[in-house]
Amino acid sequence: MDDIRRTRSEMENHLIDEMIAGRITRRDFIRRGTVMGMSIPLISMIVAACGGANGSSSGSSSSSGGGTAKKGGTIRVAIIVPTGAINPLTVGDQGGLAMLGQTGEWLTIANPETLQLSGALADSWTSNADVSEWTFKLKSGVTFQDGTPMTSADVVYTMDMLSDSKGGSNALSVFGGVLDKGGTTAVDPSTVKFTLLAPNGNFPYLVSRDNYNAIIIKKGSDPASFEKTFMGTGPFKLEKYTTQVGASFVRNPTYWDSANAALPDRLEFTFYADEQPQIQALQGGTVDAIGQISVSGGRALLSDPAYTIIDVPSTAHRQVHMRNDKAPFTDKRVRQAMALCVDRPGIIEALFAGKAKLGNDSPFAPQYPSTDTSVPQRTQNISMAKQLLSDAGMANGFSVTLNTEKAYEIPDLALQIQSNAKQAGITVNILQQSPTVYYGDFTFGNSPWLDSTMGITDYAHRSVPNVLLGAPLLSTGTWNSAHFKNPGYDSLVKQYFGATDLQTQKGISKQVETLLLDETPIMFLYFYDFLGATKKTLAGVEITPVGQVQLAKAGFTA
């Protein structure tokens, strides 16, 4: 054990200390260890040395089970039609990111279940002491589908493009304030160094599969014409892509990781504009799998034994913002009252048939290792809500307009909130808009999303809460639709970003969670599971919480 410790960095040793002292669990240690760049065998060794059993679990319900997948065959998948061009720089929609994931690969991958990191194109990674510099060692022998070797130059090219704060990258949601163009440098052909704008202890997550735009593309290639070649390093290569119609891929015969070559011969994706036709296609045998289903739309499949439902816990959620600078929500008691009206378990049952986790009015989903789950869960309490309202001088309730986008289960959520709020005398008028209208220009003053007194916004899965703690809640946040400006919060979050160990992060999380519960700028009511469906005879389909459909290990069992 001491030998191990001598070779490890100060931070890694700190992590080991924490586990030995029992301040973090074995599970958290593994998760944290992977972020620090410790390899799984090393982690297992340490865990074993510390008296724990080998902790690397492999079984995950994020992929369809039931028998062993056989090699070969064509797998036909229904996905929602991509809303625009398949450009790694700009893709931000479900269909588009599922397409990117077919031929592209990332530096790292976070296990959807355990949020544990492992290397994909990266072999290992380490950081300096204050986590402001991260060095990634790339795997050797990685080649693009045209045979060219992938080197650090390709990674630098990709990352510079995605992190360019003056550019139009969709990945800026992740890299904004963390990494900018020029921050990525090649140390040697197989080593890349990231110099961050601010210390970030979770950086390896930010280049993982969850940052779906961050597939490594060839140096000098134009992302706008990616659609023509789908040139990546992945186990499949493009056969044909037809805008709005579908795409097909074949096994990449020269895949660099030959041990993990794709099982299926061919993949056939058909694009659908709506959910129901996809379900019909699965029922009618036209497709073998659906990339995403919703609980309400997928009712017919949920109860049918002929299909496997892939249920992936995710941190995707909806935020219900209440503008802190606008009546009636200027008084925090009014915001608290609103949050106390809501029957969260009831909503999860009604909207998700239970397939979601409770939210506690902060971005800290129960899955995050850094979440302090000892903070009491807010539950429905109408009498307390009424008391708070009368303290705030609104004993007779008030009336407010709730702006919503007509997407997903959001219209139904609005109805539930309306019905719950009524019990405390609050009248909620629902204004439903198309997503295009709701988001408007995406800038303050030109967007119902950012300007409305109260609104519901959709947020995707993140494997670390950094982005969610930033843009929607910081005083300077560009997504701060609640207009929440709290210096105390701002400094806590800054500390959180720079925290290098889990114990410190957890300590800060507790303060953040408590502060947000008290201020309640935004209601976080639930974090819902991501669902996919396949035929019972198909095994090994992996659906990620972001929505990628990974089929390299998929195959028919019969």
Closest CA to 26 of 35, 16, 36, 38: 16
CB of 287 to other proteins, least distance (A): 8
CB of 500 to other proteins, least distance (A): 27
507 near other proteins, rule: CB under 8 A: no
| Helices 344-352 + 410-422 axis angle, to 10 | 150
Closest CA to 80 of 300, 277, 283, 316: 277
Question: Per CB under 8 A, which region of 11-19, 24-32, 320-328, 425-433 contacts other proteins?
Answer: 425-433
* The token pair that represents 426 in the structure block: 């609050």
Question: Per CB under 8 A, which region of 2-10, 58-66, 321-329, 410-418 contacts other proteins?
Answer: 410-418
Q: Say how far apart CA 88 and CA 446 lie, in whole Å.
A: 27
Please select the residue that binds other proteins; options are 85, 186, 382, 517, rule is CB under 8 A.
Answer: 85
Residue 64 · residue 150 · CB < 8 Å: no
CB-based contacts of 423: which residues, under 8 Å, 6+ apart?
A: 341, 382
Q: How many CA atoms lie within 13 A of 476 on its CB side?
A: 6
Q: Say how far apart CA 200 and CA 498 lie, in whole Å.
A: 5
445 near other proteins, rule: CB under 8 A: no
Q: Say how far apart CA 534 and CA 291 lie, in whole Å.
A: 9
DSSP 344-380: HHHHHHHHHTT-EEE--SSS--TTSTT--TTSPPP--
Q: Say how far apart CA 500 and CA 95 lie, in whole Å.
A: 35
Q: Which is nearer to other proteins, 481 or 500 (CB)?
A: 481
Q: Which is nearer to other proteins, 379 or 429 (CB)?
A: 429
Closest CA to 328 of 394, 415, 388, 402: 394
Q: Say how far apart CA 468 and CA 479 lie, in whole Å.
A: 10
Q: Say how far apart CA 547 and CA 101 lie, in whole Å.
A: 9
CB of 84 to other proteins, least distance (A): 6
Please select the residue that binds other proteins; options are 52, 167, 345, 498, rule is CB under 8 A.
Answer: 167
Please select the residue that binds other proteins; options are 118, 418, 486, 495, rule is CB under 8 A.
Answer: 418
168 near other proteins, rule: CB under 8 A: yes
Mark 278-297 with x for binding to other proteins (rule: CB under 8 A) and - for no binding.
Answer: -xxx-xx-x---------xx
201 near other proteins, rule: CB under 8 A: no
Please select the residue that binds other proteins; options are 108, 170, 370, 452, rule is CB under 8 A.
Answer: 170
CB of 380 to other proteins, least distance (A): 14
Phi, psi of 4 (to 5 degrees): -60, -45
Mark 349-378 with x for binding to other proteins (rule: CB under 8 A) and - for no binding.
Answer: xx----------------------------
CB of 516 to other proteins, least distance (A): 22
222 near other proteins, rule: CB under 8 A: no
276 near other proteins, rule: CB under 8 A: yes
Please select the residue that binds other proteins; options are 113, 331, 412, 458, rule is CB under 8 A.
Answer: 412
Q: Which is nearer to other proteins, 168 or 376 (CB)?
A: 168
Total residues binding other proteins (CB under 8 A)? 62
DSSP E strands, 325-480: 356-358, 399-405, 427-433, 454-459
For other proteins, the binding residues (CB under 8 A) are 83-85, 87, 90, 92, 165-170, 172-173, 176, 224, 227, 243-244, 246, 270, 272-277, 279-281, 283-284, 286, 296-297, 299-300, 346, 349-350, 406, 411-412, 414-416, 418-419, 430-434, 436-437, 439-443, 478-479
